[in-house]
Amino acid sequence: MQDLKNLLAYTGINVEQLVNDYTQTLRNNSNSCATEAASIAALKEWATQKEYLIRQVMAMPGYNGNLQSVGVIEVPYEITPNVVYTSISTLWSNLFKNGDKITSKVDENGKTIEDYVNEELASMPSKVNIRSIASYSGKQPMTYAIFDNNGYTKESLKKAHMAESLVNLFRYYTATRLTDEMAAKIKELCPDLGVASGMKTTRALGKIIKRFGLEDKAAGSVYGKEFIANYCEVMKEGGIKRNFVVSVNPIDYLKMSIGEFTSCHDIRGGGWRSGTIAYMLDGVSMITYTIKPNETMEINGTTIDSKCRPELFSKIERNVFHWDHLHRLIQSRVYPQAKDGCADLYTAFRHEVQRRIALANGWEPDAWTNRKRRYTEFTIAGEGATNYPDWSYERFGGNLSTPGRSRDPYSTEMIIIGAKPMCIKCGRRHSTSSRMKCRNCY
């Protein structure tokens, strides 16, 4: 115990209370075999590996003296890919009528292919008329090159294809404003549409409706009005105020998947349950999460505020970040899993972590760059680590960002995520993801 107290002397926390809380958290969550000796062993390793991050969190705004930085953020209204897909699909199938409202059988002269055929046949002998009509199908003369085999003008078909390609860009797009990447994709398809990064997504879609001459039809249609109103409601900006916690408190690693959701890291029975300790024992992983603001609870006659002991309250969302001494910040997957693809939520969490790190180091809060390079090139799981590698799947929304004064954003030095966990009974290392104990103690 004294060694642990010496390691954590600079923090000012009650080490005996920390050991007791850590052990009791395990025992109260289906791990009754946890021992104080094993807890002390794990916490000594945590204190050694996490010293850099502990000092970082202690310097952050909103530090509560409990190894956590707590502050209020506005969490965006939930915009999920499935909801957006349904809304956009409704647009395409009803407002655009799958392209039927854009395609046309009338050319710029106001004529259809039948008009041209009739004009040509009218100038031919009657015997030729019969043969021409009989042989017309699939054998268009050069005169009719502007039409396809079904009589649609090729120009209108091209417009319909462009419209569908543009609408498809929005089918799973959940950000309320255009990112640089999204704006570039739209410009590539339709350079003169007049969109720009930062433009509201609803406004950009409105430009598409106008570009293809559907604004009057949309305004004049009750269904069109309902659709536009529905899409604007789906994509509305603003959000809900919640407490956002950046933590290196050991209890938060143990309870990272206990809250209004659960996942494979749930210490009560998750398939990767020992991954909680694997994250706790590496040198780069921080737990961030949201809880309801202004909550309190009574413990032994004492009122506990959620800002002082947020680990005791139910998590709403959770996001693991990895921050190393070379100033590289990796954002992993947001839980619960239903948040996959919620771009605004990922952005809100990342910006808040960036802001707190910057203020802790005396940097400009906005001086960050989101890197395009694949961060998986220089991340690796620790040897024997049992945490689920969320960060390695880019489809989960992980990303790399660095402050303006990053020492070396593309250093070949690997970011090692996770470590071999320690048995909660004897304190020995083990590498079984679905157990909190080593094989000798199981």
Q: Is the pLDDT of residue 131 over 60?
A: no
Mean confidence (pLDDT) of the chain: 87
Give the separation between CA 174 and CA 201, rounded to whole angstroms.
Answer: 9
From 3-7, 234-238, 325-329, the region with the lowest mean pLDDT: 234-238
Mean pLDDT is highest, among 128-142, 339-353, 399-413, for 339-353
pLDDT range class, residue 217, cuts 50, 70, 90: low
Q: How many CA atoms lie within 13 A of 397 on its CB side?
A: 24
- pLDDT at residue 17 above 70? yes
**Token match 């409990």: residue?**
66
Average pLDDT over residues 4-26: 97
Confidence of residue 200 (pLDDT cuts 50, 70, 90): very high
Give the 3-state secondary structure of the chain: CHHHHHHCHHHCCCHHHHHHHHHHHHHCCCCCCCCHHHHHHHHHHHHHHCHHHHHHHHCCCCECCCCEEEEEEEEECCCCHHHHHHHHHHHHHHHCHHHCCCCCCCCCCCCCHHHHHHHHHHCCCHHHHHHHHHHHCCCCCHHHCCECCCCCEHHHHHHHHHHHHHHHHHCCCCCCECCHHHHHHHHHHCCCCCCCCCCEHHHHHHHHHHHCCCHHHHHHCHHHHHHHHHHHHHCCCCEEEEEEEEECCHHHHHCCCCECCCCCCCCCCCCCCCHHHHHHCCCCEEEEEEECCCCEEEECCEEEECCCCHHHCCECEEEEEEECCCCCEEEEEEECHHHCCCHHHHHHHHHHHHHHHHHHHCCCCCCEEEECCCHHHHEEECCCCCCCCHHHCHHHCCEEEEECCCCCCCCCCCEEECCCCECCCCCCECCCCCCCCCCCCC
The number of C-alpha atoms within 13 Å of 221 and in the hemisphere containing its C-beta is: 16
CA distance 263 to 269: 10
Judged against a pLDDT cut of 80, whether residue 221 lies above it is answered with no
Higher pLDDT, 417 or 131: 417
Instruction: Calculate mean pLDDT across residues 416-434.
Output: 97
pLDDT tens readout for residues 370-422? 876 666 777 889 999 999 998 877 666 678 888 975 556 667 789 999 999 99
pLDDT tens-digit series, residues 76-128: 877 878 889 888 888 777 777 766 778 888 888 888 888 887 877 776 655 44
Rounded mean pLDDT, 45-56: 98
Chain centre distance of CA 384: 28
Give the type of residue at 106. Answer: V
Q: In this structure, are strands 296-299 and 329-335 parallel, antiparallel, or unpaired?
A: unpaired
Tens of pLDDT, residues 309-322: 999 999 999 999 99
Tokens for 383, please give them.
């040897």
Quick one: average pLDDT of 6-27?
97
pLDDT tier at 300 (50, 70, 90 boundaries)? confident
- Whether residue 218 is predicted with pLDDT greater than 90 in this model: the reply is no
Tell me which of 4-13, 309-318, 330-339 is least confident: 330-339
pLDDT score of 307 more than 60: yes
pLDDT of residue 322: 96
Q: Does pLDDT of 336 surpass 50?
A: yes
Amino acid at position 13, single letter: I
Q: Which residues pair with 167 in a beta bridge?
A: none
User: In the chain, what percentage of residues exceed pLDDT 70?
Assistant: 88
User: CA 98, 104, 105: angle at the middle one, nearest 5?
Assistant: 130
- Is residue 8 very low, low, confident or very high in pLDDT (cuts 50, 70, 90)? very high
Please report, rounded to a whole number, the percentage of residues in the chain having pLDDT higher than 90.
55
- Judge contact between 331 and 397, C-beta under 8 A: yes
pLDDT bracket for residue 223 (50, 70, 90): very low
- Comparing 232 with 247, which gets the higher pLDDT? 247
